[in-house]
Amino acid sequence: LAKTTQPISMDSYEGQEVNITCSHNNIATNDYITWYQQFPSQGPRFIIQGYKTKVTNEVASLFIPADRKSSTLSLPRVSLSDTAVYYCLVGEGSGNTGKLIFGQGTTLQVKP
């Protein structure tokens, strides 16, 4: 499974855009890139998933360059409630196990 590397922590202020970059140099052809958010004592919550180029939903955007060796999660105008741990994962697609291996994640602290 491809290993991911992301910053351990980031600080931001309310209203700012936050970009968290993840490296996954050994990503396989079948792998999708998925980001999850986790609050303390809760299960992770799906944020966004992509395979290539750009994906946008109501909460975030995901930018994936052509070589797919990295990806950037963009959170527009963060608020205090976005303080959480963000995990970048690459996982096997359907037809395989769908197994995900969590890295250390990025702890985002949003300040007022």
Site for other proteins in 44-73 (CB under 8 A): 44-46, 49, 51
Site for other proteins in 14-43 (CB under 8 A): 30-32, 34, 36, 41-43
Q: Encoding tokens for residue 15?
A: 């209203």
DSSP 58-109: SS-EEEE-TT-SEEEEEESS--GGG-EEEEEEEE--TTS---------EEEE
Q: Which is nearer to other proteins, 31 or 82 (CB)?
A: 31
Decide if residue 104 touches other proteins (CB under 8 A).
Answer: yes
Please state the closest distance from residue 59 (CB atom) to other proteins, in A. 15
